[in-house]
Structure 1
Amino acid sequence: MSREIRDITSSNEKEILSLNITKEQHRFIEPISQCLAEAKEDNRYVPLGLYKNDKAVGFSMYGKFEDQVWLDRFLIDKRFQGTGLGQYFMQKLIEFLKNKFPTNNIYLSVYENNKRAIKLYKKLGFIFINEEDENGEKVMKMK
């Protein structure tokens, strides 16, 4: 079983745009189309496709801002949630970012009521740092 992180290009953009999350999760993350538009407007953002056996199963986006690296977006398609892919790909994304930016801290933000995501982020070594982003999300930093 192959699992990989891929760049999003014109050849796989449509497949990435077809990913869906549950209705309840829409309040926690922007639509993928909006994320891709932001990445086209600001080259500090890099969108990524998450693949299992050559099939898109998730999406992520990171941004590099001076000495901070933000794991800005992360989702697993609703058909693949609860299978361990969320934790697997979060670990791989953290490794990817640590290798690409070894001297930088990794940050993310999360809504306080997104308990499932918070549990995962804490399990992977993120801690709250008593800051909020411009959307009122709580900021977490990799220990």
Structure 2
Amino acid sequence: MNIQLKEVTEDNFYDVVNLKSDEIQEKYIQIYERWVGSNAFFLGMSHAFGLTAKAIYDGEELIGFTTHGLMKTTGRYELVSMMIGHNYQGKGYGIPVINAIIEDMINTHQCKSIYLSVIHDNERAIRLYEKVGFEPTGEVEEGHHPEPIYCLTIA
């Protein structure tokens, strides 16, 4: 694997927007998918909130998308979105991708902790986040779904 985070540009914009986390979503254009908001939603959010949006590649192959940055409303550095396209799920990308995002956040923001929220019944994502060191804070974000908040403390 050769995981790289790259800027979203005119050259890859439509590919990023069209990348879906679930095959069923391929037929729809909507703001939210089952486990994650759409990439179009998070691209808009990154623009409006001053967040960093990156396309995730394995070599030259687009496999996912992420958004992160300082959320002014909480004063926390947050991993706002991480999605891996449905064709690439279950192929061992989870840990290398999240480690690349954590590294990018540390390099970009010099943050000492990273927060994220996850839909309460997304067990695969929760296991992944806990495996790399995120711990539940006991807080719950009430959005479209109850989302427990996790924190990774950077050593």
Instruction: Note whether the superposition's TM-score is higher than 0.5.
Output: yes
1:29 aligns with 2:11: no
Cα distance in 1 for partners of 2:34, 2:111 equals 33
Q: For 2:86, which of 78, 91, 112 is the aligned residue?
A: 78
Identify unmatched segments of 5+ residues in structure 2.
26-31
Matched, 1:119 2:127: yes
2:61 matches 1:55: yes
Residues 103/20 of structure 1: CA separation in 2 closer, same or farther (3 Å cut)? closer
Q: What TM-score does the superposition give when structure 1 sets the normalisation length?
A: 0.90
Structure 1 residues 43-66: Cα deviation after superposition (integer angstroms, max 9, x where no partner): 2x1111000121210001002136
**Who is 2:151 aligned against?**
141
Could you tell me which residue of structure 1 aligns to residue 12 of structure 2? 12
The separation in 2 between residues aligned to 1:130 and 1:18, in whole angstroms, is 34
Aligned-partner Cα distance in 2 for 1:42–1:95 = 21
Structure 1 consecutive aligned stretches of length 4 or more whose deviation exceeds 3 Å: none
Match of 1:40?
Answer: 47
Paired residues in the alignment total 142
Give the letter aligned to residue 69 of structure 1.
Answer: Y
| In 1, Cα distance between equivalents of 2:71 and 2:40 | 22
Task: Determine if contact 1:75/1:86 at 8 Å carries over to the other structure.
Answer: no
TM-aligned CA distance change 1:9 to 1:129, over 3 Å: same
- The worse-fitting range, judged by mean Cα deviation, of 22-31 and 55-64 is 22-31
2:29 alignment partner in structure 1: none
How far residue 103 of structure 1 moved from its aligned partner, in angstroms, is 4.2
Moved more, 122-131 or 103-112: 103-112
Q: Deviation string for 1:18-38 (max 9, x for gaps)?
A: 211124992221111111112
Partner secondary structure for residue 99 of structure 2: helix
CA contact (8 A) 2:67 2:80 kept: yes
SS at match of 2:33: helix
User: SS of the counterpart of 2:110?
Assistant: coil
